[in-house]
Amino acid sequence: MNDDQLLRYSRHIMLDEIGIEGQERILAAHVVIIGAGGLGSPAALYLGSAGVGHMTIVDNDTVDMTNLQRQIAHTTARIGMPKVDSIRTAVHAINPEVDIHCIQERATDALLDELLPEATVVLDCTDNYKTRQAINAACVRHGTPLIEGAAIRVDGQLMVIDPRVSDSPCYACVFPPEAEFEEIQCSTMGVFAPLVGLIGIQQAAEAMKLIVGFGQPSVGRLQMLDARTLEWSTMKVARVKTCVVCGS
């Protein structure tokens, strides 16, 4: 690290859990964020400010007026801009050193197979069930840690999937791909603005813990947040041997 980096990241370096070695791991990390909306916005801002060296952001949407109630990386002046470019602008305003690759596409299987071999960790910040299943399957396929986040109405969810851990359940262990599932989107059901910030920041925190290697990631636990009371509840989940994605 140079002198400017030592100053910029000094509050991390002071921490026993991170230090210089941990900050160097952050600087060398490559985080893939899929979804540049309510969850992806705070996650990208915090990971960028913390010094994640390489970031790939995937989203096919553009900034809309209705996004601005909660998607804090975007601004009124950037309405109509691709969300990936808007987030890059926001992150670079905080930390211009971050190398950000923007992909204005949907997260197809082919794209995921191209990106994941180089990824340190993936953040699923989407709101589409089929896309979640595709991301989960790709992460299992490539052995890449995945931070799942979800928020709708006033309820949030968080789950860490680490295929490198032998007993780590995957997303499909909890939500089977073949199950009937009613798609719920904030465009029709609404979402409490600070909730997406809370979940997105938690995703960033879990990603940082995995990158540096400290603390206890939420592997094997589905965490649920009720924004009415701001209380978390945790459900332990086990790997399903017959899971169609990660089962043996």
Contact between 70 and 193 under an 8 Å Cβ cutoff? The reply is: yes
Q: DSSP secondary structure string, 117-168? A: GG-SEEEE----HHHHHHHHHHHHHHT--EEEEEEEBTEEEEEEE-TTSTT-
Residue 42 tokens read as 């705070």
Report the C-alpha gap between 147 and 160 in whole angstroms: 5
User: Going by C-beta distance under 8 Å and a sequence separation of 6 or more, which residues neighbour residue 2?
Assistant: none
Catalytic residue annotation: 186
Report the C-alpha gap between 212 and 99 in whole angstroms: 19
